[in-house]
Structure 1
């Protein structure tokens, strides 16, 4: 993996907070299910195969909290039959300009990871909805 356990735990907490926020909104008429962070091509493929086979799953939401090579997603996305929503955003509402450091930068790589992921999906000609 590119990241240590502490970083991955924070990613999981932040992802769960986003899902809780969606589920707490009266503007979203369905339940969004949080899944564990996928970190390898095999984990990605397994999760997307599960999404394909789950009748209650109407699609997936992707979010690149940290940087991970987009090519890790190619095999999984090539088999995905469900719609994709690409959440293209940072977790934090504000960037702490006065105390920003490499730990913060390594944890919050959405600006890089989401762009690379979006470019890769365009190259694959994957239709998706992007929310910024």
Structure 2
């Protein structure tokens, strides 16, 4: 059992931080053609069908994930521009710029910090009220 736990501790970080290598990808602006919000009980994800012109002069369409606010979806709409990275070898492979860990989960972290802060303040107020009685 101990070996499984140790193995998991070594493998989990590599899976969490495994990302597609985008070093030689090209950044450009794309126009949003459609927006799709997928709202489930515990998460909200937003995807956009985009159109962009690659360095080879051809027009391509692809789908990228957008930053989404829980329960509401994305703030982007049809016709907006969005920065993307695309693979010059296969331009249909694209991803939005700025969909890292903090962009995706930053709001959840702030909500958690707010709850933790509120809980400690309420606990402190409650204990000081009880000690005054």
TM-score by length of 2: 0.24
RCO higher in 1 or 2 (8 Å CA, sep ≥ 6)?
A: 1
- Report the structure, 1 or 2, having the larger helix content: 1
- Report the structure, 1 or 2, having the larger strand content: 2
Rg larger in structure: 2
